[in-house]
Structure 1
């Protein structure tokens, strides 16, 4: 029997309006796209302590923005104390809530309940992973999957580049999942080999040396791996570590035994299909993750993933544990660390420290929050949100990847109970769910337009429905101020 439950995303139309990064808001009417400000369109003018490696980017974000009211009044601590204490009582004896609320503009802590107490965050840990990712990566960068011909033209090397969303057929340019396809890579490969006069049978080896260390995190419960909520992590995989396109964001079936070997097999099949008429045949070679010579002159084909930011948004909206582990390792490599469990953990801590975010009480075992041994405080979580919404660097993009209350991702069916609907379209947050954990960390605006960052985490949950009600009511209370 599983000791954990995944976050369950439900989809319905977005409504209302929300505030984004850099204390900006975009107005939306009815059902439509959320207009999101990011730092990427103004990169040359931007600087900040939480972006160690600034990079040039091109913004693809709509520019119809309006500032929040400069004179929006800041709520007082007294205004929050009684209402939030009351919403916490909705838990009854069903768990213990810790929390913190921060006024973003002033940095003042308006409310706290055991906020310095480390708790199990569940998928709120993904906030730390994305912050580290955007601290070291251009949000418009893409992960490349490449094919190289050996120096003696007797074999091919498939080189993993951190894209685990590959399609087994043609590239799907308009999609995040399947944006790059191994069928397209195979067609390019065969065309190049045929043009260069290469014939015969070539073995194809996999270079998966990008990641090091254990593929399966020892901090995960075995039943989570068996059920598919977690799996061995590879720097190359089909369909987000599935053997076929998943039916939706919560589909954890069809996990491969070896994702790298599965990708290699798919590539070889596509090569043989494309190469038959050119006198070319291919066979699967070594899957040992050894580094190969990557002379650019020997590269015969390449396909690129959806952008870093698009993958991060996919992770957040679907609360995708496996993709979080991939992006955690990719963040580590971008930061100059090893692409391993330990490398990802070290990168998160250094990224938070560099940004001036507290790491007191932080115990991190993975990048997804699936481990019950993860610990983080509401202080860290609320500071991270406040930093992201104010940031003048790539980390500002984190704010617009969070699901919208009553609109998108894992918040699509939230804030529907009486007394909570004010948060629909106004609040954004990351959910978190384990068997005894429910959490909600994000930001909202008061009725007068003041931006607040919050983190509410319930541990020792005995009644999940009561916990969700208490969380939603707490966020709605902030929105109604």
Structure 2
């Protein structure tokens, strides 16, 4: 059969054997049959789609329907499907708390650091309120500090001795009739000036006062027996009195005495001058001054008898005052006195070697890592001392907050253009005068290094702490380079950039 259209058909060329049967019916009603067949096909296809959907989609049935299905379902001996085991997925990684964005700082002092007067420069500056490092140049390397070491010595003394400790000079009964013993207790500030006159150490004990008390007590306990000999006992300090690494010029230039437990006026030729030449025998000078109050009787060096009766004593100013007398003028002899007294208090000994052990030990009280610190003296005159600028800035954070007894250090710091070693004519002059009155810091000066460490009350109202070292082949002009960088810190304040 060839289809020509939906409505017309061609008659068959073959005769029909059953003209009245189904075939004749189809032949006469071809179009209707095709329509009916198509409809039936679509119905079957639709039923199949529904069946497939029923097999793949969940169907909600009533309990009765479910029971009916179960009745007609064929039984099976197959095992039921295993129930899946619930598993807990691993926790998803949670990002750490976001790190706050750092302030973008734009005030650079990089150009100031290239000043050739620095030699080898190390420096660090921190925000005093947050401890954030604002500026750093090789600050973790320990190096010589010059007199900035006095910050460590005085801090150690405050920790070990306390602010109220006083050094005592005594007179005791000698082992022979007519003999008394002058026993030094480490007080280098004891003065030979008569009572009523002040040496450079304001408030110091007076030798004439001690002599008068001792004479009265001796005569009361030894009536009719004159004093004929005075023994000088300086054994409270031991070992060398002069650190081998010190320049001998420090003594005759008037910057350091030989360190003995018995001396007067820091062994100065002139008790009222800070930089006055010192002698080669501080004990003898003290003995001569003391003997003059007893008619000039002879003196000998010795030690007091064990358990000898005390006749009289005088005491130094407390450590809280001695700290200021050390820091403001950068007094080397008082610094060495405090270093030895700290070592004795801690049981480390009474020599320079004891200072090396005792100062870091005492500083542990402040909770700052002291590893790498070397203290061969108390004054900082030695090239062999080593402290990183990072230690100084961490200590300055605590000094600025006056933690413990460290407010005594703050109060003893020279002030730029105002007091102590920062009031000299070559400090904070020219363009650096803007920082006068705003920088509180300890200075350091030796042949191989110039240093400064302290606190900046910056122009923008922030507070910074800092340390600056200029080391190596340097001269006194390094002070101006240091002052200029410190003034840069003052001008930048919390906007100080590390670039």
TM-score in terms of structure 1 length: 0.74
Is residue 124 from structure 1 mapped to residue 148 from structure 2 by the alignment?
yes
Q: Is the 8 A contact 1:177 1:239 kept in 2?
A: no
Is residue 189 from structure 1 mapped to residue 214 from structure 2 by the alignment?
yes
CA distance in 2, matches of 1:171, 1:311: 20
Shift of 1:140: 3.1
- Find the counterpart in structure 2 of residue 108 from structure 1: 132
Q: Structure 2 vs 1, CA of residues 468 and 151 (structure 1 numbering), >3 Å: closer, same or farther?
A: closer
1:215-257 superposed Cα distances (whole Å, 9 cap, x missing partner): 111222344456554442101211112244142x223x1x222
CA distance in 2, matches of 1:216, 1:202: 32
2:237 pairs with one of 200, 211, 216: 211
1:338 pairs with one of 326, 349, 355: 349
| Runs of 5+ consecutive residues of structure 1 not aligned to the other structure | 1-75, 274-281
Is residue 220 from structure 1 mapped to residue 220 from structure 2 by the alignment?
no
- Find the counterpart in structure 2 of residue 444 from structure 1: 456
Shift of 1:97: 1.3
Match runs of 1:7-18 below 5 Å: none
Match runs of 1:33-44 below 5 Å: none
- Find the counterpart in structure 2 of residue 235 from structure 1: 261
CA distance in 2, matches of 1:250, 1:84: 36
Q: For 1:336, what is the secondary structure of its paired residue?
A: coil
Q: Is the 8 A contact 2:416 2:428 kept in 1?
A: no
Q: Is the 8 A contact 1:208 1:291 kept in 2?
A: no
Q: Structure 2 vs 1, CA of residues 266 and 307 (structure 1 numbering), >3 Å: closer, same or farther?
A: same
Q: Is the deviation greater in 173-182 or in 261-270?
A: 173-182
Q: For 1:419, what is the secondary structure of its paired residue?
A: helix
Q: Structure 2 vs 1, CA of residues 110 and 77 (structure 1 numbering), >3 Å: closer, same or farther?
A: farther
1:111-159 superposed Cα distances (whole Å, 9 cap, x missing partner): 1110012222111111111111111123233222111123665421111
Is residue 134 from structure 1 mapped to residue 149 from structure 2 by the alignment?
no
Shift of 1:391: 4.0
CA distance in 2, matches of 1:239, 1:396: 27
Q: For 1:318, what is the secondary structure of its paired residue?
A: coil
Shift of 1:474: 2.0
RMSD over aligned CA atoms reads 2.4
Q: Is the deviation greater in 315-324 or in 164-173?
A: 164-173
Shift of 1:328: 0.9
- Find the counterpart in structure 2 of residue 325 from structure 1: 336
Is residue 267 from structure 1 mapped to residue 290 from structure 2 by the alignment?
yes
Q: Structure 2 vs 1, CA of residues 169 and 102 (structure 1 numbering), >3 Å: closer, same or farther?
A: same
CA distance in 2, matches of 1:114, 1:159: 47
Q: Is the 8 A contact 1:142 1:307 kept in 2?
A: yes
Match runs of 1:128-167 below 5 Å: 128-150=152-174, 153-167=177-191
Q: Structure 2 vs 1, CA of residues 161 and 421 (structure 1 numbering), >3 Å: closer, same or farther?
A: same
Shift of 1:377: 0.9
Is residue 257 from structure 1 mapped to residue 280 from structure 2 by the alignment?
yes
Q: Is the 8 A contact 1:103 1:453 kept in 2?
A: yes
2:465 pairs with one of 453, 462, 468: 453
Shift of 1:427: 1.1
Shift of 1:83: 2.6
CA distance in 1, matches of 2:187, 2:119: 39
Q: Is the 8 A contact 1:167 1:180 kept in 2?
A: yes
Match runs of 1:388-399 below 5 Å: 388-399=399-410
1:85 pairs with one of 93, 98, 110: 110
Q: Is the 8 A contact 1:173 1:179 kept in 2?
A: no
CA distance in 1, matches of 2:334, 2:275: 12
CA distance in 2, matches of 1:435, 1:177: 30
- Find the counterpart in structure 2 of residue 245 from structure 1: 271
**Larger C-alpha radius of gyration, 1 or 2?**
2
CA distance in 2, matches of 1:318, 1:93: 24
- Find the counterpart in structure 2 of residue 284 from structure 1: 299
Q: Is the 8 A contact 1:182 1:270 kept in 2?
A: no
CA distance in 1, matches of 2:385, 2:460: 36
CA distance in 2, matches of 1:442, 1:134: 18
CA distance in 2, matches of 1:121, 1:77: 32
Q: Is the 8 A contact 1:99 1:112 kept in 2?
A: yes
- Find the counterpart in structure 2 of residue 348 from structure 1: 359
Q: Is the 8 A contact 1:316 1:402 kept in 2?
A: yes
1:180-200 superposed Cα distances (whole Å, 9 cap, x missing partner): 121111111122223332522
Q: Is the 8 A contact 1:442 1:453 kept in 2?
A: yes
Q: Is the 8 A contact 2:245 2:384 kept in 1?
A: yes
Shift of 1:98: 0.6
Q: Is the 8 A contact 2:189 2:265 kept in 1?
A: yes
CA distance in 2, matches of 1:78, 1:460: 34
